[in-house]
Amino acid sequence: MPCARPTNKQTSPHPLPPSMTPAAMDHDLLLLLASLAAVIVAAVWHLRGHGSGARKPKLPLPPGPRGWPVLGNLPQLGDKPHHTMAALARLHGPLFRLRFGSAEVVVAASAKVAGSFLRAHDANFSDRPPNSGAEHVAYNYQDLVFAPYGARWRALRKLCAQHLFSARALDALRTVRQDEARLMVTRLLSSSDSPAGLAVGQEANVCATNALALAAVGRRVFGDGVGEGAREFKDMVVELMQLAGVFNIGDFVPALRWLDPQGVVAKMKRLHRRYDRMMDGFISERGDRADGDGNDLLSVMLGMMRQSPPAGGEEDGIKFNETDIKALLLNLFTAGTDTTSSTVEWALAELIRHPDVLKKLQHELDDVVGNGRLVTESDLPQLTFLAAVIKETFRLHPSTPLSLPRVAAEDCEVDGYRIPKDTTLLVNVWAIARDPASWGDDVLEFRPTRFLPGGSHESVDVKGGDYELIPFGAGRRICAGLSWGLRMVTLTTATLVHAFDWTLVDGMTPEKLDMEEAYGLTLQRAVPLMVQPVPRLLPSAYTM
Tens-digit pLDDT profile for residues 100-124: 999 999 999 999 999 999 999 999 9
Give the whole-angstrom CA distance, residue 185 versus residue 198. 13
Residue 456 contacts by C-beta under 8 Å, 6 or more apart in sequence? Answer: 439, 440, 450
Q: Is 102 inside a domain boundary?
A: yes
pLDDT at 287 (0 to 100): 65
The answer on 299 and 153 residing in a single domain is yes
pLDDT at 31 (0 to 100): 45
Q: Is 511 inside a domain boundary?
A: yes
The answer on 269 and 258 residing in a single domain is yes
Tell me how many degrees the CA angle 50-51-54 measures, rounded to the nearest 5: 80
3-state secondary structure of 99: strand
The answer on 310 and 206 residing in a single domain is yes
The answer on 349 and 370 residing in a single domain is yes
Give the whole-angstrom CA distance, residue 373 versus residue 544. 7
Instruction: Please tell me whether 160 is known to bind a ligand.
Output: no
pLDDT tens, position by position, for the chain (544 residues)?
444 444 444 444 444 444 444 444 444 544 444 455 444 545 544 545 444 445 667 899 999 999 999 999 999 999 999 999 999 999 999 999 999 999 999 999 999 999 999 999 999 999 999 999 999 999 999 999 999 999 999 999 999 999 999 999 999 999 999 999 999 999 999 887 878 899 999 999 999 999 999 999 998 888 765 566 677 887 888 899 889 889 999 999 999 999 999 999 999 999 999 999 999 988 988 765 555 456 889 998 988 887 755 544 445 567 889 999 999 999 999 999 999 999 999 999 999 999 999 999 999 999 999 999 999 999 999 999 999 999 999 999 999 999 999 999 999 999 999 999 999 999 999 999 999 999 999 999 999 999 999 999 999 999 999 999 999 999 999 999 999 999 999 999 999 999 999 999 988 999 999 999 998 888 999 999 999 999 999 999 999 7
Nearest to 303 by CA among 294, 314, 313: 294
Task: For 332-342, give one letter per residue: b (16+ CB within 10 A) or e.
Answer: bbbbbbbbbbb
The answer on 290 and 254 residing in a single domain is yes
CATH number at residue 83: 3.30.43.20
The answer on 326 and 241 residing in a single domain is yes
- Taking only the tens place, the pLDDT of each residue in 146-188 is 999 999 999 999 999 999 999 999 999 999 999 999 999 999 9
Q: Is residue 149 within 8 Å of 167, Cβ to Cβ?
A: no
pLDDT at 25 (0 to 100): 41
CATH number at residue 372: 1.10.630.10
The answer on 241 and 369 residing in a single domain is yes
Q: Is residue 361 within 8 Å of 490, Cβ to Cβ?
A: no
The answer on 190 and 125 residing in a single domain is no
Q: Is residue 98 within 8 Å of 67, Cβ to Cβ?
A: yes
- The 3-state secondary structure of 154-178, one letter per residue: HHHHHHHHHHHHCHHHHHHCHHHHH
pLDDT at 23 (0 to 100): 46
pLDDT at 242 (0 to 100): 87
Q: Please give the residue range of the domain that contains residue 414.
A: 71-130+402-440
The answer on 135 and 119 residing in a single domain is no
Report pTM: 0.87
The answer on 284 and 167 residing in a single domain is yes
The answer on 207 and 308 residing in a single domain is yes
Q: What is the dihedral of CA 39, 42, 46, 50, to 10 degrees?
A: 180
Q: Is 53 inside a domain boundary?
A: no
pLDDT at 43 (0 to 100): 52
Q: Is 384 inside a domain boundary?
A: yes
**How would you classify the pairing of strands 103-108 and 524-525?**
unpaired
Which helix H or strand E contains 366, and what residues bound it?
helix 355-369
Last residue of a domain, which of 440, 462, 489?
Answer: 440
Q: Is residue 291 within 8 Å of 303, Cβ to Cβ?
A: yes
Q: Is 33 inside a domain boundary?
A: no
The answer on 210 and 83 residing in a single domain is no
Number of structural domains found in the chain: 2
* Cis omega (within 30 of 0) for bond into 6: no
The CB-side HSE value for 309 (13 A sphere, CA atoms) comes to: 7
Task: For 145-158, give one letter per residue: b (16+ CB within 10 A) or e.
Answer: bbbebeebbebbbe
Write out the DSSP string of 281-337: HHHHHHTT---S--SSHHHHHHHHHT-SSPPSSTTTTPPP-HHHHHHHHHHHHHHTT
Nearest to 96 by CA among 86, 352, 374: 86
Q: Is 383 inside a domain boundary?
A: yes
Q: Is 216 inside a domain boundary?
A: yes
Q: Is 48 inside a domain boundary?
A: no
